[in-house]
Amino acid sequence: MVSVVLPFHLHTITITILKLLLFLTILHHLPPKTTSLLPREALPTKSGYLKVNSTSGSSIFYTFYEAQLPTKPLSETPILIWLQGGPGCSSMIGNFYELGPWRVSSNVSVEPNPGPWNRIFGVLFIDNPIGVGFSIAASPQEIPRNQHDVARHLFIAIKKFIKLDGSFKTRPIYVTGESYAGKYVPGFGYYILRQNAKLPVSSRVNLGGVAIGNGLTDPVTQVATHALNAYYSGLVNDKQRKVLESLQKEAIELTQNGNWSEATDARNRVLRTLQNMTGLATLYDFRRLVPYQDELVAEFLANVEVKKALGAKENIVFETCSDAVGEVLHEDVMKSVRYMVEYLVRNTKVLLYQGHCDLRDGVVSTEAWVKKLKWERIGEFLEAERKVWKVNDYLAGYVQKLGNLSHVVVLGAGHLVPTDQAVNSQAMVEDWVLEKGLFANEQINKMRSNLRSLL
């Protein structure tokens, strides 16, 4: 046998390679990287970044949770998209504080949500627009300044998301969100339908409907409701009501004159004055002695191991809401998207829901702008019966529905409906998507009624 003596540098390289192979062999048998703060069963099905500008690298961050107990093949299982409000707030609030499968508790660990929206549907949480949450804005100039550009980025992102899995292409998609997403949701839905009209069937986004929770949609109409709402709720007296009405008038006039930034400032004065007059902990829910604790989400997502587990950039300092993005969209706040809802309700189904304890974007403010909808069936809708809605035989709220439009008042809830009424909000969105119960169409209800009369 001939022995070969390797030169010293080759011998060193060989030893290094062998050590590396040994390490990789051991690593292969280790469990996937996880953290005690976010156990394996709480990890999203998919998460990461979707580039909206391939040149600059600006990207939207997402987390997707597949349906836990789908009732149909996955290729037919609906996907709900969730957009947070603000403007400038992260959808990780929705994920870890409202409707995701796991919620952050007071000790900054996660626990199962009793009413997750991904029970029978997939749910996709999107940090929108870029610059929000874990999303990346390569420069402040790229952050959208209007709803058209917000929707354009979302459309690019959702098209890329659909390409991640062959089954996504055929699945119906429902765009949902709350608060300032009262503009994002109709803006995105409107954009999808307008783009679909230009695209071949194979390239279209399969939009099933849109749902807006406690939304700011037609601000000039909504800002006019605060004084009377507070007065008839017993929270201010007549003198205070008149002060609020004067401030509201200023906001309305500035809006009508197109002084957008000043109009936003004027609306803020209305809300700030109402807060001071009432002494409430938060206008988002007049029952609360302390505000919603969504800062728990920021504390949770500050952990590097949690960021790694979610596939988020570790160097991003997570904020629940971005002041920078809020400032960029400051002039957009008082601009109405009611015309987009009018287009949507003619072409797809629309759900409007509010927690009845919200004093900012609640029931009264929504009903005010709904009455102004230019829709051929609005008269019929306003005359439609408002039905008592129960979940598990307990009163949950009220549902008014006609054609494509459904309106729900959720009892025992404030601005963050899924946080306050997890099980009921789950039942609401499932029945609306599947057109069951009080959300069934008129023909089905008539057939059932006729059948009962025959029996």
User: What residues are annotated to the active site?
Assistant: 179, 358, 415
Render the burial of 11-32: b for 16+ CB within 10 Å, e for the rest.
eeeeeeeeeeeeeeeeeeeeee
Strands (E), 114-268: 122-126, 173-178, 207-213
Cα dihedral 251, 252, 255, 260, rounded to 10, equals: 10
Contacts of 34 (CB under 8 A, 6+ apart): 40, 43, 309
Which of helix, strand or coil describes residue 109?
coil
Which of helix, strand or coil describes residue 159?
helix
How far is 262 from 278, CA to CA, in rounded Å? 25
How far is 267 from 410, CA to CA, in rounded Å? 26
Nearest to 340, CA basis, from 177, 196, 244, 210: 210
Look up tokens 């029952």; give the residue: 287
Neighbour-count burial of 154, counting CB atoms closer than 10 A to its CB (0-12 exposed, 13-18 middle, 19+ buried): buried
How far is 421 from 367, CA to CA, in rounded Å? 21
86: left (phi over 0), alpha (psi -120 to 50) or beta: left
How far is 127 from 153, CA to CA, in rounded Å? 11
CA 90 to chain centre: 9
Residue type, 207: L
Q: How far is CA 451 from CA 95, 402, 438, in A?
A: 42, 21, 17
What phi, psi does 190 have (nearest 5°)? -60, -45
